[in-house]
Chain A
Amino acid sequence: MRTIRRFFKRLSSWATTQRDDQRLRAEIEEHLALQTAENVRAGLSSVEARRQAVLKFGAVESVREGYRDQKGLPFMETLLQDIRQGLRRLRNAPAFTITTVLTLALGIGATTSIFTLVYAVLMKSLAVANPNELYKLGKEARCCYWGGYSQYKEYSLVSYDLYKHFRDYTKDFSELAAFQASNQLFGVRRAGRAEAAQSYPGEFVSGNYFAMFGIRAYAGRVFSGSDDRAEAQAVAVMSYRLWQDRYGSDPSVIGAVFNLDDKPFTVVGIAPPGFFGDSLRNTPPDFFLPLNTEPFALSDTDLYKPDNYWLELIGRIRPGARAASIEAEMRVELKRWLRSHWGEMTANDRAKFPKQTLFLRPGGAGITAMREEYEHWLRILMMVSAFVLLIVCANVANLMLVRGMERRRQISLSMALGARPSRLVKQALTESILLSLLGGVAGLAIAFAGTSLILHFAFPQRGGMAGVPISASPSTPVLLFAFGLSLITGLAFGIGPAWMATRVDPIEALRGASRSTARTGSLPRKTLVVFQAALALVLLSVSGLLTAALHRLENQNFGFDQERRIVANINPMLAGYGGDRLTPLYRRIQDSLSSIPGVSGVALCIYSPLGGNNWGSGIRVDGHPSPGPNDDDMAFWDRVTAGYFDIIATPILRGRGITEQDTATSRHVAVISEAFARKFFKNEDPIGRHFGQHGIGSEREYEIVGITKDAVYLSMDLGKPVSAFFFLPEAQHDFLPTPEATEASPGSHLMRDIVVAIRPGASLSFAQVRQALASVDPNLPVISIRTLEEQVGGQFRQQRLIARLTSFFGALSLVLSSIGLYGVTAYNAGRRTGEIGVRMALGADRGDVVGLVVRGAFVLIVVGLLIGLPLTFAAGRFLGNQLYGMNPYNPEVTLIAVVTLGLSALLASLIPALRASSISPMEALRVE
């Protein structure tokens, strides 16, 4: 109680310093007067009486100090004093201050901008109510479809049927919602408006999706369970982003009908701003649609197939419920559900039945596919920026040490006058923290610019669609991070120099000779330079490795030609094409484009190489035993028009490609890749053999007529052995080996990509392509047109960005450590002027002097390199699979890094060496 009262008294009297000072002075005066009077009464002379009184009172200053310590808050007071003094001193050295603040801003800014991304991608929860109550199904994000009655490792995707089973039987979820694992583009057109359809992503979600997240509509209403019934009217919720950007927040949008792929949906409401759905991704959905509209919207029956897994689950658990017990309960339910489908299960599924399990994981961050994709990159970048910050700290510490040297006399004088060392250290530390806070403020601006730039390059916005929902502007955690980082930085670079600055003997002040300081303080500065050199070497080799890996990736043999090829992405379905009308459409497109002068050929395919998507399938080879439960029978496939391989320039190694003779009525053929041949026909000749992709009974579905060279179609194959591939003719349709013989995947006849090959020397503009397509059908939406080079290059966007960022950081660290070395060398050379003069007077020539100085500098660099080399190898290991199969112990890269560092060190030390050697001996000796 007493202490608290005292604290407030002190706080208030701290504010009224001036008046209290007067009070004390008056009291002292009174005290001395009374004592003097008494001494006079005792018979002393008035002068002596006063002297005795003062003696008896003690040192007035120390009393005043003690009084002040009692009265105010000495900590606050000295802090304020130190801050005022620190600011004054920084103002008096503008060059030093600006250099330091800028250097710090670079380091803090780089680290903060990476942290902004780390926070957004790895740490942030969804913008929903109480995210900590949410749990999701599945340990790892798994995109996007799965079939059959067993799942590899864990059940992480569910069918609509399985979702309903979980929803109805798991009591401890207050809401359990399901939603599409992928999202897809819809051609969107507001009904009754004459406008071309524009593509926006949409996602099918269960009726309780919004209720589960605790999300209310910004305008209108969100849909609920009653909207998610087969017979209900088709409704949709639009994203705030689209409503604002595209429709100018027009209130009439609510209640209006929008055609999504030509199917009418009524928009009933707008999702709140900041809500980007269930997962952080490049293209957050602009339309949320009830699950039961899926058959209507896509004209398929995915929803009703119990073994068609395309939904993710997130649930909100009841207060007090335990996730572990829900998980156990759901495992039992899963088994029960599988048992109820025992009759439909294949022998393989039944064999895998005992192993089927599932996992519940915290779902507050939603589906974290992006987290898994970027985590390693972000770790690398975080490490790299931390290294840069360390180098920055070393540099600034070096500057502070020099500053400390210059202040030695002043400090020893202060100490001679009775200043306490702790107070002097505190003063110096306050100054460094001031500097780092200033650096932090400037760093925030750099971080904002840096993050915006990184986001722009990493996630380029596609026409009209929402970009990745990450904001570059600092959020509270980012601000706190930057503040904390600045404080730590200030301590890191300040504490050593501050402590060392006070390690002076007060007597030095009186001696006043500059010589006495000659040897001290040189070791720490040298250590810092060694440290910098080691870190710079690591950063240089990391950036070298990443750049080399990128170069290797970009210049690998892709198995097709990138030059002189244009890829136009279309969606015939949006213009109402389907069924029998497709093949004639493709014919017309080919004719129209081929008639443009300079075009050497046109082919269509579902997916062109590295377009970012593909279909995969389990393969059964005729004459081989059925694949067992653990066999990898996976191959990827594409459907192409005649002449495709010539147009994309993938060589046919044996047999033939897809030609005009493969028609709807001719025998069904397939062209396989080398990898396919290796995987399924180890020592056999594949030509003439049969295989199929539609389960038991489909083994003779296709006859192999040709083998192509391997080509890279999948981005996951980059830098790895290419996956097995096969190609089917566009004109041929597959039918399931069932009595009804329904058509298998009719959607595979929707050719998405048109590949246009251009004659050497000719040129073709995108406008010409658009025009030719418009002449076929003006309503045919062209989603994108780009060159094949751009499409392939797009696959390396991340790698290129990371390589450039680390190269930038590497260059920065090189410059900073060279400056550090320059500083130390120049300083040491300056101090050795006298020695140099003596040497020169005794006959040393300029070369000797230059050698002397440069040698000194190189010893430091070599020690730094020796320390840095093992670190470099460790860093290479850390990069690991981000090098796409390149050996992390790359002697070339290491050598280049060493040479680069050596050259810049030579430059940094040569300048002061030449300056030192150009002095005349007489002059040098006079300096003494």
Chain B
Amino acid sequence: MKEKTDVLQGTLALMVLKTLDVLGPLHGYGVARRIEQISGDLLTVNQGTLYPVLLKLEQEGSIASEWGASENNRKARFYRLTRDGRKRLQAETRGWEQTAAIIGRFFAVKAEDLK
């Protein structure tokens, strides 16, 4: 069994935003599946935990939602990125890349580099 990683609080929100940015409007299940697929099943969350995050993002105005019909013709709620959400995604992406770059540089350092 592969070891699974806990999702950092906050990164889940970023994943949701990015998913919606790439794929356009999606329902909750779609978002959950996509995150699962992209993270290559390395990262599982109880799919249920997604819904409070979706709600929070909606309250903050980063995403909006409306009722629509799903692929098997059931009533489903579709989430889409708002303009605010796009801006937020850009800002957070930059922040994340910076952090990743810094951490990356730390890992690249070897003992002799510091002499």
Contact = CB atoms under 8 A, between A and B. Distances in A.
A binds B: yes
Interface of A: 2, 5-6, 9-10, 13, 23-24, 26-28, 30-31, 33-35, 37-38, 56-60, 62-63, 66-67, 69-71
Contacts of B5: none
B51 interface: yes
B49 A30 contact: no
A58 B59 contact: no
Given A35-B29, A57-B46, A58-B46, A27 B60 contact: no
Nearest to A62: B48
Contact of B51 (A24, A34, A37, A56): A24
B47 A5 contact: no
Contacts of B46: 56-59, 63
Contact of B72 (A27, A34, A69, A71): A34
Contact of B48 (A5, A6, A57, A71): A57
B105 interface: no
Contacts of A69: 52
B60 A6 contact: yes
Contacts of A30: 27-29, 70, 74-77
A28 B74 contact: no
A2 B77 contact: no
B56 interface: yes
A63 B48 contact: yes
Bin chain B's interface residue count: 20 to 34
B47 A31 contact: yes
Interface string B62-99: 00000000101011110000000000000000000000
A671 B12 CA distance: 103
Contacts of A33: 72, 74
Contact of B59 (A5, A23, A60, A63): A5
A63 B52 contact: yes
B55 interface: yes
Nearest to A68: B52
Q: Is the interface of A mostly helix, strand, loop or mixed?
A: helix
Interface of B: 27-29, 32-33, 46-49, 51-52, 55-56, 58-61, 70, 72, 74-77
Contacts of A5: 59-61
Nearest to A37: B72
B47 A70 contact: no
B73 to A, nearest CB: 11
B35 to A, nearest CB: 13
A529 B109 CA distance: 69
Nearest to B62: A2
A38 B30 CA distance: 12
Contacts of B28: 27, 30-31
B56 A2 contact: no
Contact of A58 (B27, B47, B55, B77): B47
User: Considering the complex of A and B, which 7 residue pairs feature the smallest CB-CB distances, nearest first?
Assistant: A58-B46, A63-B48, A58-B48, A9-B59, A34-B29, A66-B52, A70-B52
A644 to B, nearest CB: 91
A892 B47 CA distance: 79
A220 B26 CA distance: 78
27 contacts: A2-B60, A2-B61, A5-B59, A5-B60, A5-B61, A23-B77, A27-B28, A27-B51, A27-B76, A27-B77, A30-B28, A30-B74, A30-B75, A30-B77, A31-B27, A31-B32, A34-B29, A34-B76, A56-B46, A57-B46, A57-B48, A58-B46, A58-B48, A59-B48, A63-B51, A70-B52, A71-B55
B45 to A, nearest CB: 8
Contacts of B47: 31, 35, 56-58
A18 to B, nearest CB: 16
Best-surrounded residue of B28, B48, B60, B77 (most CB of chain A within 10 A): B48
A58 B51 contact: no
Contacts of A28: 48, 51
B41 to A, nearest CB: 12
